[in-house]
Structure 1
């Protein structure tokens, strides 16, 4: 049995449902932000190791032209491998209709779209205005609905990039962020999250914006995607949790950043985020020991690339016990989170 075909019995033994969903974005957000290209087989082995640790939603690829992001040239092959892992919801980033067509053809379960609240960042990142990206959301929603007769309809998430500030534009108006989020939901997105693309956010701002988002969108209010650029990643995740957020993006080893946002660096470290929640008694469904072991697959695929994390460096505290997961917070037949 190869590293890309983990023993099903190696999954965490608990069948109880987690209270929060940790959505791993390292294989996409992390890998597209480093200069080196991880070999396809190494990506598959890393994704399998993350899955074996209990992660059940992983963003595995970005469907963009290979000339722009050669690190993602094997996106379809990586998706086809990942969808064979039992119980895994496979996500792919798509910036436009063409990318969505390719991702759906490869079998992705969920599409994520970057819709920037900063016009300057939007033009640099996808060469479209924010409202033009709302039109893309509408077109992709129509595409997935048109294909729904051939199987389960893929999910569609809009991530509002630079929601807390932008290195190109500076301040981003909070009212504009909420208007854009509502427009994406009205255009067909199942959920709309907020992203601190450049690490400008602070906990008070995070709590305020997510409270407003949840007030406007209810169950369609989605994930918190925080960066640790200025050391506030975990504090911002905690503020989002206190505002009612239950889905959190994170990247193993803290890999990630936006290549089109100067000064953007590292995502929240998955290992540290899982430890924080488990130590608080908030179950993640992730086996920390296996998650720490998965770093070896990352290192093997990107030799010499710096990876980060306080928990991996310090180790687990003596006597540490993970949280007990409440059985009512996830529908185990579909993998969908319920309100908790």
Structure 2
């Protein structure tokens, strides 16, 4: 029996957040609803962040209100602080299985630029958010950015990433998505990073989040599979990047990841024809 790999679709949030043109709530909902019919079990649909800094996500509450949820799909939103948590609570629907994501960086330069604080301070800020989620029975997922390279500090040492993951999981034993934020990772360096991180968390609690800026995303996924990871983030149509990481366009495309996993003999439970339709819809939003 083929091994199962779980895909976390991040296009509607991490993909669309970087688009400059106005994308209506109706178009976002149509994309998410189509993705919900593909067999995906995890779809990131928005974020409760300051609309001043990420205006494309200002309507996440409306997106949640208008979704037509599938019962087996978990819909995730990014929640960086308690203000975001309050926004999430107000928008939360009883009929939707939801998850929140929190994020930190593995480099001090990116943490200071993106969060205006040190790594340690960013972890401390997340504690009340995670505690509130646990009290309300909401699943929490963590993101760690810049796991191989930082646009400000350069190469990031593998042990620094492992230490950062350990700090985050000390708050709660959450799954951690490891982000190659500017797409400079190579299989050799990703492998070294993962070997260090596996000392802080088991492979079953890790996910890979690779940008394809350098054309290495699929090779990095193969390396991650070899080291036991069975969860990956991807964006339909290859949308997005990080608005705070210069030169980081392009999450790895969901359709490309599915093709790779199919070729390698893994099972995902996802209909590639539906994903192809969603990719066409997503690319039209650019």
Question: TM-score, with normalisation over the residues of structure 1?
Answer: 0.78
Comparing both structures, which one devotes a greater share of its residues to strand? Answer: 2
Correspondence for 1:50: 35
Aligned position for 1:71: 56
Matching residue of 2:26 = 41
Aligned residues: 282
In 1, Cα distance between the equivalents of 2:102 and 2:78?
6
Q: Which runs of 5+ in 1 are unaligned?
A: 1-15, 148-152, 306-340
Question: What is residue 292 of structure 1 aligned with on the other side?
Answer: 276
| Whole-angstrom CA distance in 2 between matches of 1:18 and 1:287 | 17
Q: CA deviation at 1:83?
A: 7.1
Q: Which structure has the larger Rg over C-alpha atoms? A: 1
Q: How far did residue 219 of structure 1 move?
A: 6.0
1:238 lines up with 2:227 in the alignment: no
- Give distance in 1, aligned partners of 2:161 and 2:264: 31
Q: CA deviation at 1:85?
A: 2.4
Q: Which of 94, 102, 121 is the equivalent residue of 2:79?
A: 94
Residue in 1 aligned with 2:131? 142
Q: Say which SS state the counterpart of residue 230 (structure 1) adopts.
A: coil
- Aligned partners of 1:257, 1:39: CA distance in 2, in Å? 20
Matches within 5 A, 1:1-340: 19-82=4-67, 84-107=69-92, 109-147=98-136, 153-218=137-202, 221-300=205-284, 302=285, 305=286
CA separation of 1:82/1:135 partners in 2, compared to 1, >3 Å: closer, same or farther? Answer: farther
Q: Give distance in 2, aligned partners of 1:28 and 1:78.
A: 11
Structure 2 runs not aligned, ≥5 long: none
Compute the RMSD of aligned alpha carbons. Answer: 1.9
Distance 1:220 1:240, change over 3 A: closer
| 1:157-209 Cα distance to aligned partner (Å, 9 max, x none) | 22110011111111212211111100100112512221100011111221222
Deviation at 1:17, TM superposition (A): 9.6
Runs of 4 or more consecutive aligned structure 1 residues displaced over 3 Å after TM superposition: 80-83
**Distance (whole Å) between structure 1 residues aligned to residue 147 and residue 86 of structure 2:** 27
Shift in Å at residue 220 of structure 1? 6.3
Aligned with 2:155: secondary structure?
coil
Rounded Cα–Cα distance in structure 1 between residues aligned with 2:171 and 2:244: 25
> Contact 2:11–2:240 (CA<8 Å) still a contact in 1?
yes
Q: Deviations over 1:125-146 (max 9, x none)?
A: 2222211111123211211133
SS in 1 for 2:117: coil
Contact 2:159 2:193 in 1 (8 A): no
**TM norm structure 2:** 0.92
1:53 and 1:120 map into 2 onto residues whose CA distance is 38
Q: Following the alignment from structure 1 to structure 2, what is the Cα–Cα distance between the partners of residues 58 and 99?
A: 19
Q: 1 CA distance for matches of 2:68 and 2:226?
A: 33
- 1:8 corresponds to: none
After superposition, the Cα gap between the structure-2 partners of 1:57 and 1:200, relative to the gap in structure 1 and judged at 3 Å, is same
2: distance between equivalents of 1:176 and 1:83? 41
